[in-house]
A and B are shown apart, each in its own frame.
Chain A
Amino acid sequence: MFGKRNRLYIFHETVEIGDEGSTIDILLTPRHYLVRKESLPVKYPFQARKLAPSIMDDLLDDGEYEYIVYRDNGEWVFIAFDPEELTERAILMGIDPDNIGKIYFAQQICDRLEKPLRLESGEILAVVDGKATLMPGALFDDGDVGSVSDTEALRPAKSYAQGIRRGRFIGERESYILAGALAFIALLFFVEGMRYRGAAEAEAQRIEQAAGDDTTLAGTLTRENILSKYRKIDRRQREIRERLREIASLLGRGVLLRSVKSDEKGFEAVLDIESPSKKGIVESKLEKMGMKYKSSGTTIVIRESGG
């Protein structure tokens, strides 16, 4: 796949394709393109390419042309060709247009045409006024012209066009615009993704900042152990204080505290009720508080198991 070159053929009516079915590269003769050389005060090819339609306008008939622009010895070379016409020609020559790979132009090999070249068709490819030109073979003697023994020797260094039927559903220009837009959005997504990655790493550092000097809290297992221990202590101690506060709220005239006991096993308080009328009130309050109790005579025993 890589490094393998397609065979190069000079594109003319009598060409014979030896390896049908495989992709071939073609060198177009001036019959299939139009060329103009201009000295323009522009620096970059994309600027020159924008000017190509207006520069070539008076040379071209109506049609959809593709323009090739490159710089040669300080001058801009403008080449226009009609891909549709080329496709029709290829079909007439028995070449599958889809099998055409790189396209070269005879204009690109002007420096190798010091001696005119006789093509298989008998026509002569020569340079006239700096432009590759096709001339009738009868104008030259055999001694004055060279022949094409190896087309590979004519292959220009660079190809400016790839295939003549590029894409069945999308045009070349559209494909570049669409691909560019998609690639731009992809880049935005990628940049956003990278920002999220960076932000996630910064987030992780907040744990160490929050732990401060107590580095043991930064570790998940240690932190969970410490938290579990102190949550248990906190819950138990708040319960003891809440029970003491509730018991204190029950005491008063006719209700006396006999004893309170609190340890790991649980909590127990014994109340002496001096007046029978108070007993119901105390029991009602205990029920509202959700405390478990046992009532016997003038004594109420409140008991809860420890957590």
Chain B
Amino acid sequence: MSRYRNEAIVGAALLALISAYLFKNVSKSHFDETRASVNRSVEEIEEAKALKSLWHAGDMKKRLEKLKAVVPASRLSTFKMQRRKVTMVLKDLKASELNRFMNRMASMPLRIKKLSIERKNDRFGLECLCKW
């Protein structure tokens, strides 16, 4: 038993070293994977927050009132807001008025569900259903 005592001592220390090295490597891999996964999750959370705040905005009613004022009141046939939905029907719009209205609407975080623009002679009619 004592024949290889010195070698056994060194062997045991070597075994401990190998075990500790493997433990360190496994822990490092685990850490790297966790960090990569957490970074991905954090990026997703930030993206989800940004998209949600953009397409699920809370203060749209005031902004829609401003949109309404872009065209003369006489052009506005229907302007109905229900919960998080708005239905707009405009008629006899000049090209410049249509252009101004569309530019303003496109810059707002409204989800355009239905849009219909029809030209009759030189005037345009517009129907739009949007959500937010």
Q: What is A's interface to B at a CB cutoff of 8 Å? A: 23, 98, 100-101, 162-163, 165-172, 174-176, 178-180, 182-183, 185-190, 192-194, 196-197, 199-200, 203-204, 206-207, 210-211, 214, 217-218, 220, 223-224, 226-227, 230-231, 233-234, 237, 240-241, 244-245, 248, 256-264
Contact = CB atoms under 8 A, between A and B. Distances in A.
Contacts of B106: 241, 244-245
B6 A166 contact: yes
B118 A163 contact: no
Given A220-B41, A260-B115, A261-B115, A170 B48 contact: no
A100 B9 contact: no
A58 to B, nearest CB: 31
Contacts of A217: 45, 48-49
Given A170-B10, A258-B119, A264-B113, A223 B41 contact: yes
B116 A260 contact: yes
Contacts of A207: 38, 41-42, 45
B117 A183 contact: no
A223 B4 contact: no
Contacts of A199: 31
A244 B102 contact: yes
B104 to A, nearest CB: 12
Contact of B38 (A101, A206, A214): A206
A177 B75 CA distance: 95
Interface stretch (B22-30, B66-74, B83-91): B22-30
Interface of B: 1-7, 9-10, 12-14, 16-17, 19-21, 23-24, 26-28, 30-31, 34-35, 38, 41-42, 44-49, 51-52, 54-56, 99, 102, 106, 111-119, 124
A201 B81 CA distance: 48
A175 B16 contact: no
A169 B14 CA distance: 16
A224 B48 CA distance: 9
B54 to A, nearest CB: 7
6 nearest interchain CB pairs? A167-B6, A175-B6, A230-B51, A189-B20, A196-B27, A179-B13
Contacts of A98: 2-3
A241 to B, nearest CB: 5
Nearest to B5: A166
Contacts of A260: 115-117
Contacts of A241: 106
Given A193-B20, A244-B106, A260-B115, A175 B7 contact: yes
A185 B48 CA distance: 46
